[in-house]
Structure 1
Amino acid sequence: MLLIRNLIYWLLVAIVTPLFFLGLFIGAPLPRRTRHVIGESWARLLTWLLWHVVGLRYRVIGAENIVKEPAIICAKHQSGWETLALQEIFPSQVFVAKKELLWIPFFGWGLALTNPITINRSDRANANRLMLEQGTNRKQHGFWISVFPEGTRTRPGVAGKYKLGAARMAKQLDMPLVPVAHNAGEFWPRNAFLKHPGEITLVIGPAIYPRDDVGPEAMTRQAEAWIEARQREIGGVGPFAHPDERKARTA
């Protein structure tokens, strides 16, 4: 049954994705907010398919912490699920992404039309300046900004090295930093074809507001401490949970 559900999911994704990307290309001359709705609709549809076809549901704790002004989403990164679900849970947002992703045929071209903030990792000297310029532009258009501070997907129960980019952007752009924890990787492992049914828990923390006397390092450590503490609380429930977290939950 698991395999059949996933095959149906991937078949539907293969059918609808070209239609949405075609819509993006046709809508390229339209205002960026209009183009963004097309990309968000694709993400929402895939989240719906995961819920109703695969059986991969989710619940949100702390929705009251979603502030009214545009903010920086500082989220755990374990799977592909959060890149879809964050667009359904939070207001319209753009992602900070590696510039080389834009070179991928069709996917990268469509991504470029959804206004991401792109980073060229080989040009570290100008990376911060360009990120600030793009971030200022996105904020002016009312977008939130999603950042995965670990930079890459990490396995459940493992903490990557939190980079300063999210907090630095929050300071420079004067935007709140909203920490987000979740256990999606316990149901959707990295690069896995099969997604497993169950209930993902996503927790939204109180916003961390920039202060003159607190630097990006301290803001990052505060966000990291909150996220990793929540990870330990919600971990250990899925089929790909870390053994230590599963043992702690069943103890």
Structure 2
Amino acid sequence: MLQWIRSLVYILQATIAMPVIGLVFAPWAMFSKTGAYTACKTYAAWCMWSARWLIGLRCEVRGEVPQGEVLVAAKHQSFLDIMMIFHALPRAKFIMKREILWTPVIGQYTKRMQMIAVDRGKRGKAISKMMEDVNAGRIEPGQIVIYPQGTRVAPGAHVGYKVGTAVLYGQLEQPCIPVATNAGYFWPRRGLFRRPGLAVVEFLPPIAPGLTKDAFMKQLEQTVETASNALLHEGGWRPDA
């Protein structure tokens, strides 16, 4: 019961903090992408810091965080892993569902940072639009972050990896950095309860450019799933829990 109360208090203060931080940084963010990035990184830092003190959830980033232009293909279990990845990367450019553009505060900031919005209901067109945005040079240099499964996936659930990641990998001809996480065990994709423990985002060794589509997809899925499952077990998750 105490952890439930702490979880609700945490969610309430984090919900209030979002518009407050958004408004404080708005004048800077209106004229500068750096201002928009700083605002969002400040919010992510606040959420991670307050999680430690209010719900006993610590956040840790492992591995070598990429600094240059790379493709980042990440496991997605929770809003927490988004914040951890965004905070860690110097200039993250997320490929996200278009509906987020209309979310209060978040939508305005994602537009300002020129995140890549795609329509998940039109798969072929979504991939084409994603490719066009990269090719046209409208996206400034940075780390392009894509979720190969296309959605949040609960621990233990299986969702296939989508071909869009391989298409982007082939076009960019850049290293791909796989990313594993166990964040979904502590911060579920649905519900209000937050578990105490250690949430980890781990940047794994890069996959060099030049692989065939099938070889790349196989290596990516095996790498990310194996590392994510190891992190889940380290955090205390069990398949029958």
TM above 0.5, one fold?
Answer: yes
Per-residue deviation, 1:123: 3.9
Relative to structure 1, is the Cα distance of residues 28 and 203 closer, same or farther in structure 2, using a 3 angstrom cutoff? closer
Amino acid at match of 2:111: A
Unpaired segments of 5 or more residues in structure 2?
A: none
Q: How far did residue 164 of structure 1 move?
A: 2.0
In structure 2, the residue matched to 1:171 is 170
Q: Residue 51 of structure 1: CA displacement?
A: 2.1
Report if the CA contact (8 A) 2:8-2:192 is conserved.
Answer: no
1:230/1:21 CA distance change after superposition, 3 Å? same
Alpha-carbon shift at residue 185 of structure 1 (Å): 1.4
Please tell me whether the aligned partners of residues 186 and 237 of structure 1 are also in contact (alpha carbons under 8 angstroms): no
Which residue pairs with 2:220 in the alignment?
223
CA distance in 2, matches of 1:138, 1:74: 21
1:22 aligns with 2:23: yes
Decide whether aligned partners of structure 1 residues 125 and 61 sit closer, same or farther in structure 2, where only a CA change above 3 A counts.
closer
1:59 aligns with 2:41: no
2: distance between equivalents of 1:241 and 1:164? 30
- 1:171 deviates by 2.1
TM-score, normalised on structure 2? 0.87
Give 1:42 deviation, angstroms: 1.2
Amino acid at match of 1:153: R
| Aligned positions of 1:35-54 closer than 5 A | 35-54=36-55
Identity over aligned pairs, percent: 29
Measured against aligned partners, the alpha-carbon deviations of 1:116-167 in whole angstroms (never above 9, x if no partner) come to: 101023444432332123235366x332111111111112122311012223
Describe the shift of the 1:232–1:18 C-alpha distance in structure 2 as closer, same or farther (beyond 3 A): closer
In 1, the alpha carbon distance for the partners of 2:15 and 2:124 equals 40
Aligned position for 1:249 = none
State how 1:70-149 maps to structure 2 within 5 Å.
Answer: 70-136=69-135, 137=137, 141-149=140-148
Question: Matched residues in 2 for 1:68 and 1:102: separation?
Answer: 26
Say if 1:55 and 1:148 are closer, same or farther in 2 by CA, change over 3 A. same
